[in-house]
Structure 1
């Protein structure tokens, strides 16, 4: 047996043996977390999954006899946290219910904030991403592997003079790979616009640097800042993710912490540009910056080397296409498929269970 994306991308019930064959090396962050507990901290105790230290955006849950239970949830009535929590719970439930392999009984907690533990490094928590020094955190797939709670169609606002933020529409049950059929913008690489695309709010130094480097409006860039409080400007500047995929070069920037856009950009048949990152997601160790298997282009955090690297690929379109092909091979058609996420969740359950020092009690 071998994994074929067109046949198996939604095969949520792969066995552990099939998961290992299809997605070799994907579990590095889980293995790291397990090793850290064993060598430096000791096993996970019941008090480690307590969520009393945080007021919002956190859920305590349990898997018991293959059933998923919510033990406690804090602050998830917030619209954003609500959709994020549902996205995580749906993924966990799907990973359990789709597979016939044994599922361990575990109790755990997860954060749906961009920053799982913004004020310290003491919490043993499942997180979307982590900083290198926050070794107690376990990295899980983020909510938008299930859906992103904003419809790519018309935005819903009151009026141009109102300062209230744009209200997102109901989420669509889309995975990243859903966007990229021939009818939704994934055109032949040679037919793509020979430009670098970026849209986003100016939230940090790296985004400010990108805007500054492209401020002269060079012929190779289509980069614009989004002001989410200015509805009329937003309507003229915002573009859908399928439209991003019509560009030959796509650039990822970290946001408040990590940014969920990366996996969507990697699903384009385009060349991803990433600055040197601080926040680690579950698939970051699979990024290859050079050599025959190069699957993205690495630039400095201040984007000082962006223009020469763009120009080099404009001058060598076959090299650009090779990187885009590798990105599709490694991410869109392998590690970012819904099947891969189901496998990752079950590996996370198993890894967590191996260092859990208590037996979950249903009542």
Structure 2
């Protein structure tokens, strides 16, 4: 009798484990299918088990700026004031590409731009200053660069770039940083600093004092930098950000607001954020105002479905959805005289503090993360064209004509240098010697930016290890 009971228990456990394994296997396969397929329609059961990825579905960033956002949202003034006048005002046509604005001009021209720098500095002031030991306490991971500014010159100390895309992003970030450095009106005032930045979408070490492209509201230790696309991006119909802005202005000079298509446009890759982006497709499907679709990079008819950043300016409304983390496409959408319609954002970029979703200076329309109120928002915009036009005009005045200019970017970098210096250590240019001694060239740390840019791609990707290998092979 006892033997029969034991056999029955074993049979039950075997059946239970087999069933559990089968259920888990089916669930995993379902999730893999849902996250990797590019099919626009998914069964409800598959959508129900899709994970949210790295986003928290009910969590989003809320900006409460301490500076004057209403003033920041006011249109740029095209006055004749000179930079020497006490009443100097920013003029887009005159100053938009002026990388050498003084600190007081930066503050006057771009209120609200430096909010995240102030936040990061305030948080770090609750801890000991960043030390050399702290920066050296963690290994560089994919997409990271360690660099230094010393006596106004940029040095590359260490890199870990895993492929050419990684390398292009890092080189672009270094280029914008260097441009802000060499254009500083008071070159001698640029502080000596040492730092680590990453060009990966997702910061791998959010508890470290890293410079990153985007952060979540709870990533207090991270410092935001402008993304690499502010320099340029080697993709069809992109190029330099200022080039895209100029083409958008040219396009809208011949196709003004009243000639735009009264539709909402979006193109993107679904598997970058399948749950979020599929919700957008579902909310817009079959609507008369919708031109929302996906792109499949490998399709033979890819170009037929692709809508470039300037082509988006042909539409009155442009949808925005985050990707693996932030989406670098937002800045291109903000270059159009169109209404940007975005879900509540979770990832913060350095210029997001200037986004206003209500009031007279509203410059975009915000909907829920699941796009459940997208139809209502679109109906409101189409029913009230004067409201839509005002939001589109504000978008241009705030972003294209002010906060996405080269001048604003350079001002941001220099403000970051200054704030970082206040909470970090004094770097050294030479290793293993005391100040005042004679320095051998071999003891100098890193390599100047100008020299680094001459290196072949493979050498740039794993420096200084690549430099040591190159030296040994040539000897």
Find 1:187's aligned residue among 249, 252, 255: 255
User: Residue 276 of structure 2 aligns with which residue?
Assistant: 206
CA positional deviation for 1:4: 0.6
CA positional deviation for 1:231: 2.7
User: Residue 423 of structure 2 aligns with which residue?
Assistant: 355
Superimposed CA distance per residue, residues 74-128 of structure 1 (whole angstroms, 9 cap, x where no aligned partner):
125x1211111111111011101112221101000100110122xx532211000
Is 1:336 paired with 2:422?
no
Superimposed CA distance per residue, residues 3-29 of structure 1 (whole angstroms, 9 cap, x where no aligned partner):
111111100000001100100121000
CA distance in structure 1 between the aligned counterparts of 2:405 and 2:100, rounded to whole angstroms: 13
CA distance in structure 2 between the aligned counterparts of 1:68 and 1:5, rounded to whole angstroms: 29
Call closer, same or farther: CA 1:322–1:83 in 2, change over 3 Å. same
Aligned-CA RMSD value: 1.6
Q: Name the stretch that deviates more: 96-105 or 44-53.
A: 44-53
3-state SS in 1 of match to 2:236: coil
Superimposed CA distance per residue, residues 42-62 of structure 1 (whole angstroms, 9 cap, x where no aligned partner):
211113333843432110001
CA positional deviation for 1:297: 0.3
Is 1:23 paired with 2:72?
no
CA positional deviation for 1:269: 0.2
Q: How does 1:172-321 map to 2 (within 5 A)?
A: 172-175=239-242, 176-183=244-251, 187-202=255-270, 203-204=272-273, 205-215=275-285, 217-228=286-297, 230-321=298-389
3-state SS in 1 of match to 2:325: coil
Contact 1:198 1:223 in 2 (8 A): yes
3-state SS in 2 of match to 1:326: helix
Find 1:143's aligned residue among 213, 220, 228: 228
Larger helix percent? 2
Contact 2:193 2:425 in 1 (8 A): no
Greater gyration radius: 2
Superimposed CA distance per residue, residues 142-200 of structure 1 (whole angstroms, 9 cap, x where no aligned partner):
00011122122xxxxxxxxxxxxxxxxxx834435233222478731111100000000
CA distance in structure 1 between the aligned counterparts of 2:269 and 2:136, rounded to whole angstroms: 34
Superimposed CA distance per residue, residues 264-306 of structure 1 (whole angstroms, 9 cap, x where no aligned partner):
1011000011101110111111111111111110000010100
TM-score by length of 2: 0.69
Call closer, same or farther: CA 1:246–1:262 in 2, change over 3 Å. same
Call closer, same or farther: CA 1:23–1:234 in 2, change over 3 Å. same
CA distance in structure 2 between the aligned counterparts of 1:116 and 1:147, rounded to whole angstroms: 22
User: Residue 84 of structure 2 aligns with which residue?
Assistant: none
User: Residue 206 of structure 2 aligns with which residue?
Assistant: 121
Call closer, same or farther: CA 1:174–1:282 in 2, change over 3 Å. closer
Is 1:49 paired with 2:135?
yes
Q: How does 1:316-327 map to 2 (within 5 A)?
A: 316-327=384-395
Find 1:94's aligned residue among 158, 161, 179: 179
Is 1:84 paired with 2:169?
yes
CA distance in structure 2 between the aligned counterparts of 1:257 and 1:185, rounded to whole angstroms: 34
CA positional deviation for 1:314: 0.6
Find 2:194's aligned residue among 107, 125, 139: 107
CA distance in structure 1 between the aligned counterparts of 2:151 and 2:171, rounded to whole angstroms: 21
CA distance in structure 2 between the aligned counterparts of 1:248 and 1:185, rounded to whole angstroms: 15
**Gap runs ≥5 in structure 2:** 1-87, 431-443, 445-475
Contact 1:180 1:186 in 2 (8 A): no
Contact 1:130 1:139 in 2 (8 A): yes
TM-score by length of 1: 0.90
Contact 1:185 1:243 in 2 (8 A): no
CA distance in structure 2 between the aligned counterparts of 1:82 and 1:357, rounded to whole angstroms: 28
